[in-house]
Chain A
Amino acid sequence: MRLLSARLSAKRRSPFAGLVVLLLGLLVSGGAYALLAPANAETSTSSQSAIEHGRQLFLVGCSSCHGEHGEGIVEQGGQTNYGPPLVGVGAADVDFQVGTGRMPMAQPGQQAEPHPVTYTPAEIRDLAAFVASLGPGPAIPPKSAYDTQNATTEQIVRGGDFFRTNCTACHNFAGAGGALPEGKHAPNLQGTSNKHIFEAMVIGPQQMPVFSNKVITPAEKRDIIAYIDSIRSEPKYGGSPMGAFGPVSEGLFAWIVGIGVLVCFAVWIASHTARVKKKGV
């Protein structure tokens, strides 16, 4: 021990000593925060205080477009919404829009695009609690609603039937997404979490139609998600799917790479071979 402290002491004037101390300090304080911070957030979930906390967050981050009470802001002329009213959209809507980073929106556009999520899960829960308190709407689904761990083959096949009937028109046969009019698009489902897929079907975000629980039952929704899971995890049997966009990307590949290689061969066949001037080496 004495040897150790003597060694450390000998190095205390090293040019790196300050840096090491600084790094150690940061590590300790950061680690302590990581240990303590979630505990602080968890404590704010009793319903009334959650709504109040959500309201505070809403006033800061959302009210400039959606109004102080979520009543929406109508543009001059009264035709279009600057931000739509949120009364009755429910907690599921907030969880989807904020949880996928679509909200808060940096600027108005054709479509709210997913971005890195700005709020913590606890803050999203409080925001959702506040918006849900404005009027009755779909709740955040429980984990059992979209847990596809134990899905049977029969359920996956049935989910596939529903998927091809209801979803492929916009989201493509492999869930790779697709174009909509005027610069909008249906997103790729490959990276969307099961919970957000479930919520999207219930709430119908943006241009997506609603698929309410009474028409497509929660069990059928889970089957659809199980099918999407199965195509996400299935091996690429035929080599690279090239984005699963069908003839567009495959045709591009065939025309540019395929025909390009053939042209290279043609050039090689017709080109001159090496020649020598002198005879006999």
Chain B
Amino acid sequence: MSDRPGLERPHPVQTGKDVAVDKGGDTTIQPQTRPDPIADPGLPPHQPRPTDVSERAEKRAERQVATLFVFSMICAVGFCVAYFTLEIGDHPTVWLGFGASNVILGISLGFALLSIGLGAIQWSRKLMSDVEIVEHRHPIASSDEVRTETVTALSQGISDSGIGRRPLVRNTLIGALGMLGLPVIVALRDLGPLPGTKLEHTVWKAGMRVVNDIAGTPITPDDLQIGQLVNAEPAVFFENKPDGEPKFEGTELLQAKAKAAVILVRMRPQDIHPAKGRENWGINGILCYSKICTHVGCPISLWEQQTHHLLCPCHQSTFDLANNGKVIFGPAARPLPQLPLMVDSEGYIVARSDFHEPVGPSFWERG
């Protein structure tokens, strides 16, 4: 135990080669000739661990490691038992209000892995070799012999191919490699087609009913009280084609909904300050705004009925619905688009037209 390999004092780091590199700068300093101002104390004397000198301690550490590994086995078996015995699905096993299956599976697998790790660390700390080791750095460059050989082989190859002597072959090769870029560029077309004016329109059009989301029921102005909020959609999402299939479904429905979703709110008419040209966009204090935030397009319906503020929960953009959807706080750059309303012949609330501006976040062409 007393003889410890690798404990000789490390060599001085500075070598003749390093000094040669430094010669471009200050050559007066010659580190290898100067004595160390502070003597290298070397490593402290090695002290053994209890497990190195006492067999009892060693056996105890062995037992600790083995216990951890056995515990890991028990946990792994516990995982399998829990997997088959604990119910999931409609009638899950519940312990203390927790879904037993998930909790036990997670705990057993977690402790199975953890105990292997703990055992390995305990093993290396208490039982594995404990001597200090010094390892010296080696130069990264290959030996001069290998380098010369490589350069020779390379020049041999170049001269054999005759790329310098045959410009026709060389130039056509360059052309062929360059041409390979074309398929890549042409394939970019599949990212399109360009959206055209799609971003500027929604499915709303004059006379389309504003209906309650989920239920799809049309709404009359009398249905709404002061302070009311309705999460609404265009009626077309609830209509069927002549063959009985829905007019919108699947991805198409989601894409159209993502632009056309609106909220309908009612406030006291005297609280509303409509902009010029928007005086007839509401019905007795009932206003309709896009539900899509103009910042990055989160759906917003967090409406404070007393302040008339609409807050976006994503980044706290706040819009004043009594003042044309003006941004009063947060990162949104544009006011919330408003949908002009009127009442149809049956007394239901309908759109007067599509939105007059693109809904949702700003995009490149909009500037």
Contacts and interface: CB of A to CB of B under 8 A. Distances in A.
B99 A237 contact: yes
Given A181-B329, A275-B49, A161 B311 contact: no
B94 interface: yes
| Residue among A180, A206, A273, A278 facing the most chain B CB atoms (10 A cut-off) | A273
Contact of B231 (A165, A240, A268): A165
A216 interface: yes
12 contacts: A158-B214, A161-B214, A162-B215, A210-B226, A216-B212, A216-B215, A239-B103, A239-B106, A269-B125, A273-B49, A279-B48, A281-B57
Contacts of A211: 228-229
Contacts of B103: 239
A209 B227 contact: yes
B99 A238 contact: yes
Interface string B199-222: 000000000000011110101101
Interface in B217-272: 217, 219-220, 222-231, 265
B212 A269 contact: no
A215 B99 contact: no
Interface string A247-280: 0000000000000000001001100011111111
A178 B301 CA distance: 13
Nearest to B299: A169
B228 A215 contact: yes
B305 to A, nearest CB: 5
A170 interface: yes
A210 B299 CA distance: 19
Given A210-B225, A217-B215, A237-B98, 18 more contacts: A169-B302, A170-B302, A180-B302, A180-B311, A181-B318, A206-B306, A209-B229, A210-B228, A212-B223, A215-B223, A216-B215, A236-B98, A268-B121, A273-B125, A279-B48, A280-B53, A281-B54, A281-B56
Nearest to B233: A165
B151 interface: no
A7 interface: no
Contacts of B99: 235-239
A180 B304 contact: yes
B1 interface: yes
Interface pairs A-B: 3 shortest CB-CB: A209-B229, A237-B99, A214-B223
Contacts of B222: 214
A218 B119 CA distance: 62
Given A236-B98, A276-B50, A276-B53, A181 B227 contact: no
A277 B121 contact: no
Given A181-B311, A207-B306, A269-B121, A276 B47 contact: yes
Given A181-B318, A210-B226, A275 B47 contact: yes
Contacts of B47: 275-277
B64 interface: no
B299 to A, nearest CB: 8
Nearest to A138: B225
Contacts of B227: 204, 209-210
Interface residues of A, number: 42
A208 interface: yes
B31 interface: no
Interface residues of B, number: 55
A71 interface: no
A210 B229 contact: yes
Nearest to B94: A235
Most buried by A among B125, B225, B265, B300: B225
A279 B1 contact: yes
Interface of B: 1-2, 47-50, 53-54, 56-57, 92, 94, 97-99, 102-103, 106, 121, 125-126, 130, 212-215, 217, 219-220, 222-231, 265, 299-307, 309, 311, 313, 316, 318, 329
A235 B98 contact: yes
Nearest to A202: B225
Contact of A215 (B53, B57, B224, B300): B224
A181 B304 contact: yes
Contacts of A161: 214
A48 interface: no
A184 to B, nearest CB: 8
Contacts of B219: 215
Contacts of A220: 215
Nearest to B93: A235
A49 interface: no
Contacts of A215: 212, 217, 219, 223-224, 228, 230
B305 A207 contact: yes
Contact of A276 (B2, B48, B102, B225): B48
A64 interface: no
Interface string A148-179: 00000000001001100110011000000010
B305 A235 contact: no
Contacts of A212: 223-225, 228
B305 A209 contact: yes
Nearest to B99: A237
Interface in A176-206: 178, 180-181, 184, 204, 206
Contacts of B302: 169-170, 180
Contact of A237 (B92, B265, B313, B316): B92
B283 to A, nearest CB: 15
Contacts of B316: 181
Nearest to A158: B214
A268 B329 CA distance: 49
A161 B215 CA distance: 10
Given A165-B231, A181-B318, A207 B304 contact: yes
A275 B299 CA distance: 64
* Among B56, B301, B302, B318: residue with most chain A CB under 10 A: B302
B265 A209 contact: yes
A170 B1 CA distance: 70
Most buried by A among B99, B230, B231: B231
